[in-house]
Amino acid sequence: MAWVQKMKITKTVLESILVHAKRDMPKEACGYLASRDGVICGHYELTNLDQASDHFSMDPKEQFAAIKDMRAQGMQMAAVYHSHPETPARPSDEDIRLAFDPAISYVIISMAAQEGVVKSFKIRKGEVTLEQMEIVEGEQ
């Protein structure tokens, strides 16, 4: 039986990544989510170098800057997020293949529906597990 993990994320961060996904349409938006004390309370919008609607590549300089800023603020890398402009909020075959870190979550924002749908997953050795999301109050 697969165990279910719960991700805690602030309402502010959740709203921010939805705005990012809408703004970057029809391209995939991408970025990092950071946590403090087990709650995702920070987000880092990164540039999709591919400028594509069906995949993304993050800018390495922005990635390093985001990690450096997280550490300076006492936060930890918690998740990679990206949007799917036209497909459901579930990992594609490419998403699964490129999920190298089993310790983090993979958050997908589907813009196929007008309001956007956000889901989180753990991906370990090709096995995908849906992660419950608990929205909590808090600021970034």
Check pLDDT > 90 for residue 56.
yes
More confident residue, 41 or 4: 41
Position 8 pLDDT exceeds 90: yes
User: Is residue 65 over pLDDT 90?
Assistant: yes
The CATH number for 6-126, chosen from 3.20.20.210, 3.40.640.10, 3.40.50.150, 3.40.140.10, is: 3.40.140.10
Write out pLDDT tens, residues 103-112. Answer: 999 999 999 9
pLDDT at 4 over 60: no
> Average pLDDT in the 19-41 region?
96
The answer to whether the beta carbons of residues 56 and 82 sit under 8 Å apart is yes
- Structure confidence by residue, pLDDT tens digits, 43-55: 999 999 999 999 9
Inform me whether the pLDDT recorded for 66 exceeds 70.
Answer: yes
Q: What value does the mean pLDDT take over residues 95-120?
A: 93
What is the mean pLDDT of the segment spanning 65-71? 98
DSSP secondary structure of 53-92 = SS---B-HHHHHHHHHHHHHTT-EEEEEEEEESSS-SS--
Amino acid at 38: G
pLDDT at 115 over 90: no
What is the rounded CA–CA span in Å between residue 6 and residue 43? 18
Q: What pLDDT is stored for residue 90 in this prediction?
A: 95
